[in-house]
Amino acid sequence: MQTVESVVVRFAGDSGDGVQVTGTQFTNTAALVGNDIATLPDYPAEIRAPAGTLFGVSGFQIQFGATDIRTPGDISDALVAFNPAALKVNLSRLRKGGLILVNVDAFSSRNLTKAGWEHNPLEDDTLAAWQVVKVNMTRLTREALKESPLKTKDKDRAKNLFALGMVYFLYDRPLEHTVNWLNSKFAKLPNVAEANIKALKTGYYYAETAEIFRATYQVPEAPIAAGRYRNVTGNLTTAMGLVSAAQNAGLDLFLGSYPITPASDVLHNLASMRAHGVRTLQAEDEIAAVCAAIGASYAGQLGVCSTSGPGLALKGEAIGLALMVELPMVVVDVQRGGPSTGLPTKTEQSDFNIALFGRNGDSPLPVIAAKSPADCFDAAYEAARITIKYRTPVILMTDGYLANGSEPWKIPNEADLAPIESDFRTDPEGFQPYMRDEATLARPWVKPGTPGLEHRVGGLEKQHLTGNVSYDPMNHHRMCELRRDKVDLVRQEMPPLEVIGEQSGDVLVIGWGSTYGAIRSGVDAALADGVKVGAVHLRWINPLPPDLGEIIARFDKVLVPEMNLGQLIKVIRGEFLVDAKGLNKVQGMPLNVGEVKQAILDLQYGEA
């Protein structure tokens, strides 16, 4: 058995092959035995793509290790392919010399044709550069379950557990966690639980007795700080961050949402938290969802709406209303490929411009971005804190990679969370609807029905202080400036930016959102090659941190990696008059470490 620091494994097959379940169970086991992890569930863009086709392939990639794991890996060490299409789609993502564990039974002439193979790659030298382990997974699963009362179709579904058992043996993983999960999940279907457990164990012992692998591997525990941890996705931690903020502020939380991939799990997770003062509404459309959230905030709750790019476009006018009536509201934008419906299951960072500028008139909003699945908790909590304190909608940006990806999350202590004061106005003395707090420019938040504080708000321009409808040009100018200045004041909440790597030198890398892991590791790799490179990662997109300009001035060149065609970079160029260069990727996949490192080297040595 060989000991290695980290491994990247990719499972791939049709959606009906249980790829996501297989990957999730492997991930949970890796986390429970003490490895650090990062995952990339890769769903097909079409929900009901024809079985066996290239565009119907579902994938799940995990990197697990004994070191600090920041990304799901650039390229796989092992590929588990359940059919010819999965092999063809993912072969380029497997390192030369890597392992292919393949289900031979799926390589029928019909499936080969649907996947575009002219010849069976298992029977020629197509795969000569890799280690190929050919297993009759379907047939062996059926044999193992021949005494089971399940139908043949249901028995065949258990082949993913057979494959998982083999991979558990390959990487010295215990079976008990998955056995316990199966017993719990199918507690009311004991025949199904028994069949799946038997398939899992049969795969494990088949790999052991048949000696199908040249070597097996052990990945030691990672040195993780003491504390209570759980494996989380970004959508789950987003929900928990919002609820924690509402609880801290003494508020109920209301979510208005219209289902949309990949944001729907925010709705699903919050719907299960009714015991914590959460109410959810699955609205008939995006506009109804955001308007309901505005109404909840007017009524004295923390109003939230969740969506993705197409939905954010539809919500634009109502978000402008929330800005104008100056009420708290968090808008969660889980970005995906676009424009239009785009690639609904694929990740992108292309909503940057619409988050900053996607409303009519001068209507700036604070915009915050999470950098990892675990960080979604902190970003959501901070977005809620700021919206309550400053009485302005806040847009929280995540993306499909963060939403569906997972990593260990250290559960925070309640005492360590920043306090949040809801601070409802109850004193009618001297009250005016648009009077302002000197420190934040926030107007009073009044619960309807508070004696002596009756007032109206709406979408027509408001007069300063009184809130009366006003068409005075100078008043309009002043109110626009006040709303702008309120957003600018959020800078006083920002700690100094952390510069990773060199504090001054040749290249500064500026990133935001889910590019954090790839940038951090890419910078480390470039530092090892002798480049004097540093990096800053922006949590706040609007307003920009007050010390960013001073940091930029300490470096000769600036690189801005983004999963779009260049959106933050235009703001950096415009604000700081610097000739920044972009690293842009819109392929439905996250940036990888090698791409970031190469872009740094190209910029430093004249290739960019």
Distance CA 19, CA 316 (A): 37
> For the chain, what are the domain ranges?
2-218, 230-416, 500-605
List, for residues 137-148, the tens digit of each pLDDT value: 999 999 999 999
Q: Is the pLDDT of residue 179 over 70?
A: yes
Residue 472 token pair: 């005075």
User: Has residue 207 got a pLDDT over 60?
Assistant: yes
Closest by CA to 60, choosing from 233, 219, 298, 212, is: 233
Owner of token pair 């909590």: 381
User: Which residue from 329, 334, 304 is spatially nearest to 514, judged by alpha carbons?
Assistant: 334
Cα 335 from Cα 396, distance rounded (Å)? 10
Q: CA 359, 362, 365: angle at the middle one, nearest 5?
A: 65
Helix/strand/coil (H/E/C) assignment for every residue in 485-523: HHHHHHHHHCCCCCCEECCCEEEEEEEEHHHHHHHHHHH
Alpha-carbon span 344 to 342, nearest angstrom: 6
The pLDDT of residue 100 is 98
Question: Which tens digits make up the pLDDT trace of 64-108?
Answer: 999 999 999 999 999 999 999 999 999 999 999 999 999 999 999
Fold of 2-218: Pyruvate-ferredoxin Oxidoreductase; domain 3 (3.40.920)
pLDDT bucket at 351, cuts 50 / 70 / 90? very high
Contact status, residue 346 vs residue 338, Cβ threshold 8 Å: no
Asked if 368 contacts 395 with a C-beta cutoff of 8 angstroms, the reply is yes
Cα gap 272→170, rounded to integer Å = 37
**Tell me, what DSSP letter sits at residue 15?**
G
Q: State residue 442's pLDDT score.
A: 98
pLDDT at residue 456 is higher than 90: no
Residue 226, pLDDT score: 87
Residues 6+ apart with CB under 8 A from 186: 192, 193, 196
What is the model's pLDDT at position 225?
A: 86
Residue 379 predicted with pLDDT over 90: yes
Does this chain's domain 230-416 share its CATH topology with 500-605? Answer: yes
Burial class of 519 by CB neighbour count within 10 A (0 to 12, 13 to 18, 19+): buried
Report the alpha-carbon distance of residue 270 to residue 254 in Å, rounded: 9
Task: Look at 38-47, 194-203, 461-470 and tell me which has the smallest mean pLDDT.
Answer: 38-47
How far apart are alpha carbons 105 and 82 in whole angstroms? 9
Contact residues for 602 (Cβ-Cβ < 8 A; gap 6+) = 608
Q: Rounded to 5 degrees, what are φ and ψ at 408? A: -70, 140
Q: Please report the pLDDT score of residue 246 as a whole number.
A: 98
Taking alpha carbons only, the member of 184, 244, 277, 197 closest to residue 420 is 244
Q: Give the helix, strand, coil percentages of the chain, each rounded to 5.
A: 40, 20, 40
Percent of the chain exceeding pLDDT 90 equals 95
Write a three-state SS string for 67-105.
CCCCCCCCCEEEEEECCHHHHHHHHHHEEEEEEEEEEHH
Main-chain dihedrals φ then ψ at residue 67, nearest 5 degrees:
-120, -175
Show Cβ contacts of residue 62 under 8 Å, excluding neighbours closer than 6 positions: 8, 9, 10, 23, 26, 27, 30, 37, 38, 39, 40, 72, 73
User: Could you report the per-residue pLDDT of 255-272, keeping only the tens digit for each?
Assistant: 999 999 999 999 999 999
Q: Which two tokens stand for residue 75?
A: 């390229």
Q: Does domain 500-605 have CATH number 3.40.50.620?
A: no
Residue 307's DSSP bridge partners are 333
Condensed to tens digits (0 to 9), the pLDDT of residues 11-26 reads: 999 988 999 999 999 9
Query: What share of the chain in percent tops pLDDT 70?
Result: 100
Per-residue pLDDT of 387-435, as tens digits, reads: 999 999 999 999 999 999 999 999 999 999 999 999 999 999 999 999 9
495 vs 445: CA distance, rounded Å: 27
CB atoms near residue 494 (< 10 Å): 15
Checking DSSP bridges between strand 500-501 and strand 533-538, what pairing results, if any?
antiparallel
Please give the pLDDT value at position 607: 64
- Ranges of H-type helices in 337-467: 352-357, 375-390, 400-404
Question: Is the pLDDT assigned to residue 61 strictly greater than 90?
Answer: yes
DSSP structural state of residue 225: P
DSSP 3-state of 402? helix
pLDDT at 262: 96
Residue with the bigger pLDDT between 517 and 606: it is 517
At 51, the pLDDT band (50, 70, 90 cuts) reads confident
CA quadruple 471, 473, 476, 477: dihedral, nearest 10: 180
Residue 361 has pLDDT above 90, yes or no: yes
State the greatest distance between any 2 C-alpha atoms of the chain, in Å, as a whole number: 87
Q: CA of 137: how far to CAs of 172, 200, 318, in Å?
A: 20, 11, 53
Under CATH, which number does the domain 230-416 receive? 3.40.50.970
The pLDDT value recorded for residue 359 is 95
Q: Which of 180, 480, 514 is CA-nearest to residue 333?
A: 514
- On the question of pLDDT at 323 being above 80, the answer is yes
49: tokens are 């793509």
Average pLDDT, the chain: 96
The least confident of 43-52, 304-313, 396-405, 532-541 is: 43-52
The confidence score (pLDDT) of residue 606 equals 84
Cβ contacts of residue 308 below 8 Å, gap of 6+? 260, 261, 262, 263, 333, 334, 335, 336, 344, 351
